Amino acid sequence: MPELLSYLTMGLYFGGTFLFLLYLWHRSDVISKISVVATGLGFVSHTSGLIIAMVSTGHVPIMTFKDAMSFFAWGLVLVFLLVGLKRGLEVLGAFILPLAFLSLVSATLAPQSAGSLAPVFQTVWVHVTLSILGTIGFAVAFVAGLMYVMQERLLKSKQFNVLAFKLPPLDFLDSLNQRSILFGFPLLTLGILTGAVSAQLTIGSYLSWNSEQIWALITWFFYFAVLMGRVTAGWRAKKAAYLTIVGFAGVILTFIGILIKSPQPMSPL
Amino acid sequence: MNIIVLGLNHRTASVELRELLAIQDSRMGEALGRLMAYSGIKEAMYLGTCNRVEVYAVVEKGERGFRQLEDFLVSTHFSLSSEDLLPHLYRYSDDEAIAHLFRVSASLDSMVVGEPQVLGQVKEAYELALTHRSSGVILNKVVKKAISVGKSVRTNTRIGEYAVSVSYAAVELAKKVFSNLKQRVVLLVGAGEMGKLAAQHLVNQGVKEVLITNRNHHRAFSLAERFHGEAVPYEQLRSTLPKVDIVICATGAPHYVITKDDIEMAVYHRMNRPMFLIDITVPRNIDPAVKDVDNAYVFDIDDLKAHVGHNQEERLKEAETAEHMVREEVGSMVAWVRGLEATPTIVALRKKAEEIKQGELEKVFGRLGELSPKERAAIEGLASAIVNKLLHGPVVTLKSEAQSQNGFAFIEAARRFFELREREIHSGEVPLLEDETGDFVSEETLQKKDGV
C-alpha cells in the first residue's frame, strides 16, 4: 500500500510538473487548472502515505534520507497549495513542483539505507523535522529569488512575453523571499539547538565539529547575514534574490555532501 | 498643385530619431517660417506627436516639394544627415496624403489604434499653423475635415472603447513591479498631455500620494489641485526622488531632466527599493542609461508600444469600420481639392453659364413663337455677349491669380459665388458621397462642429 501510494504521488507530481512547465509558455488557463488538480490529488495521496507511516512509527517519517526528502517535497507542495492558490499564482507551481518532484526522485534513487539516522535518542526526529521545515522555507525563498531574477531580466530587457505576464510583480516576490527566510530561519535555529541538546544528552558534547555541523552553522550564519543585510545595508530586491539562490545552492550541496560522505548511519547534529 | 506629406513614425523610425526631429511649440514659428521660405511651398503644417513627426505641405510641384521637406527635416537637428533620415521617411501625395492625415486623425495610424490623444495633437498642430499663418485655404479645409472625421470615427465606432492607451500600458507595467499601487507614491514631472493621462490612470488605481513638479510652479499647483496631490518645487526634484516609487516624466524639455546619477542616488537612499520610471515624451526626458541602474525600471514610449501589442485584435475589427468611414470622406475631399485647379474651375464655370444661357434661350424662344433666323441669331448673340462679358472678369482674374499665393482662395471664392460643385468641376472622375453638404458648411458651423 505505501509503495503504491508513493508511486501514485510521484506520477501525479510528474504530471503536475510537466503541465505547469507547459503552462509557463501557453496562454491557456485550462492547463494550469488541470495541473492544479493533478498536484492536489498527488498531495492527497502523499499525505495519506505520510499518515500511514506516522501511524506505524509514531512520528513523522523522516529517519531515512528517502523519508526526509519525501517530507521535504510534501512541505513544498503544501506551501504551493497555501500561497499559490490563495493568491491566484498558479505560476508558483511551475517552480515549486519541479523541485518537489526532483526531491522525490532523488529520494527514490538513493539507496534505502543512505543517510539513515541512528535512533540514538528518542526525540531526534524533532531536530530533523525542524531542520527540514527550515529548509523548506529556504527552498521557497530560492524559488522566489529565481522568479525575481527572471522577472527582473524580462523587465530590464523589455520582453513582454507570456512568461513576463505570468510571473508575479517584483515586490511580491521580494516579500515572499523575505517571509520565507523569516519562516525558515527560526526553525533552522531551533533545529540546530535541539540537535545540539540531543548530542549533549547522547554523546556528551554539543558540537563535534563534523562537516554537516559546520555546514549547518555556515548556512545559519549566511541566512542570518541575509536577514540583517536587508535591514541595515539594503540587501533587498535583486541582491536578496541572488543571495537566496546562492544560499540554497549551499543547502543542496550540504545535502549531497551528507549523502555521499555518510553511507553509514548519520550521527545527529 | 499637390498636397504632400513627408514623415516618419513609430513603424519606420526609432524613438531616438523621432526625438531629434521634435520641435517645441515655442520654436514652431521659426520652423514654420523656415518651411514657408522655400519657394513653391504654399502652405505647411508640422505634426509632431509621441509616435510621429510629419510635415504636411501644399506645393506647386510634388517632387520638388518632397526634396524641400527632406531638406527641412534634415536641418531640424544639426547632427542629422540625409543618409540617416531618408531610409525612415515615407511620402504620400494628393489622395494618399489626405487619406493618411484622415487615418492619423482617426487614430488608425497610431501605435495604439483608437487612442484618443492624437486627435487633440492634430488640432494643436493645426492651431500652430494657423497662428503662424502657414495654413491656407487647402490645409484649413483638409485638416478641419480630418479633425471632424476623427471625431465622427470616435463617436460612431467603438474604436475608443478598446483604446488601451499608452498611459494605461504604463499602469499595467507598473503592476509588474508593484503588486499594490495603493501604497505607492507617484511623482509627475512636467505637464505633458500624456503624462497627465498616465497620472490620472494611476490615481484611478488609488495610489497613496501624487506629487507634481513643473518648471512653472503655478502650473504644478493647479495640477496638484486636480489630482488632490502636492506640488513640489522644481528645484527639489532630485531630493524628492528617493521618496517616490513611480516617476512619470512628460515635460517636453529637449534634454534629460532625470539623469542616471539622480536615479543611482535615489535607489541608494531607498536602500534598493525598486523604482519605476515612465518617460512618455519625445524627446526623452529620462536618460536611457538609467536602465543600467539596479532596481530601477525605465520605460519609454517605444517600450509601452511593445507592451500594448497584444489585445489589439478587437480594436482592429472596429478599425475596419473606421477605415471604411475614412475612405468615404477622403473621396469627397479629394474631389474638392482637385476642383481647386484653375482650369477645371473655369471650364465648369463656362459650362454652367452655357447651360443657363441655353435654358433661358429655349424658354424665350418657346414664348416668342415663330422667329426669323436673323431674329434668333440676334437674341442668341445678345445672350452670349452678356454671359461672356459677365464671365470675362472672373475668368481673367482666376487665370492670373491662380498662380499667386492666394490663388486657392480666389478659386474657392469663385466656386462659392457661382455654386460650382465638385461634381460639376470634375464630373465622373471621383466617386462622391451622397451627402455633400459637409463641404459647404459655413466656417462658423465647421468651427463649432470641430470644436477648433
- A23 lies in the same domain as A93: yes
Q: Do B178 and A170 make contact, defined as CB atoms within 8 angstroms? A: yes
Query: Domain holding A104: CATH number?
Result: 1.20.58
Grid coordinates belonging to B333: 475631399
Determine the residue type at A101: F
In this structure, are A169 and A232 located in the same domain? yes
Q: What is the pLDDT, as a whole number, of residue B310?
A: 53
Active-site hit among B31, B50, B164, B282: B50
Say if CB A184 and CB A134 are below 8 A apart: yes
Strands B52-59 and B41-48: antiparallel
Q: Which residues of A touch B310 (CB under 8 A)?
A: 160
**Does A132 share its domain with A61?**
no
pLDDT for B53: 93
Q: Which of A170, A233, A236 sits opposite B177 (nearest CB)?
A: A170
The last residue of a domain, from among A78, A94, A111: A111
Other residues' Cβ atoms within 10 Å of the Cβ of residue A260: 10
Amino acid B434: pLDDT? 33
Q: Any long-range contacts for A214-218 (C-beta under 8 Å, 24+ apart)?
A: A215/A250, A215/A253, A215/A254, A215/A257, A216/A131, A216/A188, A216/A192, A216/A254, A216/A269, A217/A192, A218/A250
Q: Tell me whether residues B271 and A236 touch, CB distance under 8 A.
A: yes
User: Structurally, how many domains does chain A consist of?
Assistant: 2
Is the same domain home to A107 and A178?
A: no
> At which of A78, A111, A144 does a domain end?
A111
The closest of A38, A31, A43 to A5, measured between CA atoms, is A43
pTM for the model: 0.64
Select from A171, A178, A236 the residue whose CB has the most chain B CBs within 10 Å, as the one to mutate to test that interface.
A171
Grouping H, G, I as helix, E, B as strand and the rest as coil, residue B288 is: helix
Answer whether A237 touches B (CB < 8 Å): yes
**Whole-number average pLDDT of chain B:** 83
Please check whether residue A68 is in contact with residue A38, taking contact to mean a CB–CB distance below 8 angstroms.
no
Same domain, A231 and A264: yes
CA dihedral B396, B397, B398, B404 (to 10 degrees): 130
Please check whether residue A59 touches B, CB under 8 A: no
Total length of chain B: 452
Q: Report the distance separating Cα B186 and Cα B175, nearest Å.
A: 13
Q: Taking the CB of residue B432, how many other CB atoms lie within 10 A of it?
A: 20
- Looking at chain A, how many residues does it have? 269
- In degrees, rounded to 5, the angle at the alpha carbon of residue A256 between the alpha carbons of residues A11 and A190 is 95
Q: What is the pLDDT of residues B346-359, one digit of tens each?
A: 888 888 899 999 99
CB atoms within 10 A of CB A168: 20
> Are residue A17 and residue A38 in the same domain, yes or no?
yes
Q: Do A169 and B273 touch (CB under 8 A)?
A: no
Tell me: do A148 and A258 sit in the same domain. Answer: yes
CA angle, B126 then B36 then B403, to 5° = 105
Q: Which of A111, A138, A161 is the last residue of a domain?
A: A111
Separation of alpha carbons B393 and B387, rounded Å: 11
To the query of whether residue B249 is one of the catalytic residues in this protein, the response is: no
Provide the Cα torsion B365, B367, B372, B376; round to 10°: -30
Out of A160, A167, A237, name the one closest to residue B274 (CB). Answer: A237
Q: Does B264 touch chain A (CB under 8 A)?
A: no
pLDDT by 10s per residue, chain B, length 452: 889 999 999 888 887 788 788 888 888 999 999 999 998 898 999 998 878 999 999 998 889 999 999 999 998 888 888 888 889 999 999 889 999 999 999 988 887 677 777 888 999 999 999 999 999 888 999 999 999 999 998 888 877 654 456 677 788 888 889 988 888 999 999 876 677 778 877 887 888 899 999 988 888 888 888 888 999 999 999 999 999 999 999 887 888 999 999 999 999 999 989 999 998 877 888 999 999 999 999 998 888 877 666 555 666 677 888 888 898 888 888 877 776 777 778 888 888 899 999 999 999 888 888 888 898 899 999 999 999 999 888 888 887 777 666 667 787 888 888 887 655 554 433 333 333 333 333 333 333 333 33
The total of other beta-carbon atoms located within 10 Å of residue B355's CB is 11
**Residue B210 backbone dihedrals phi, psi, to 5 degrees:** -115, 125
Residues A149 and A262 in one domain: yes
Q: Which DSSP letter does residue A129 get?
A: H
A12 with A138, same domain: the answer is no
Residue A98 and residue A169 in one domain: no
Whether B179 and A237 lie within 8 Å, measured CB to CB? no
Using one digit for the tens of pLDDT, what is the confidence trace for B113-156? 777 778 889 999 999 999 999 998 889 999 999 999 999 988 88
> Do residues B80 and B160 make contact, with C-beta atoms less than 8 angstroms apart?
no
Residues 6+ apart with CB under 8 A from A235: A226, A229, A243, B272
Which domains does chain B show, CATH number per domain? 2-162 (3.30.460.30), 166-307 (3.40.50.720), 367-450 (no CATH)
Regarding whether A204 and A96 lie in a shared domain, the answer is no
* Residue B448 or residue A196, greater confidence: A196
Provide the grid cell at A138: 529556504
Domain hosting A246: range is 115-269
Which letter does DSSP use for residue A81 in this model?
I
Peptide bond into B283 cis (omega under 30): yes
Helix (H, G, I), strand (E, B) or coil at B415: helix
Distance CA(A176)–CA(B345), nearest Å, equals 76
A58 at interface of B, judged by CB pairs closer than 8 A? no
The SS3 assignment for B209 reads strand
Q: Does B33 touch chain A (CB under 8 A)?
A: no
Count of A-B CB contacts under 8 Å = 51
User: Does the beta-carbon distance from B176 to A239 stay under 8 Å?
Assistant: no
pLDDT over threshold 50, residue A260: yes
Asked if A228 has any chain B CB less than 8 Å from its own CB, the reply is: no
The secondary structure of B225-250, three-state, reads HHHCCEEECHHHHHHHHHHCCEEEEC
Same domain, A144 and A238: yes
Best of B182, B267, B295, B312 to substitute, by most chain A Cβ atoms within 10 angstroms, is B295
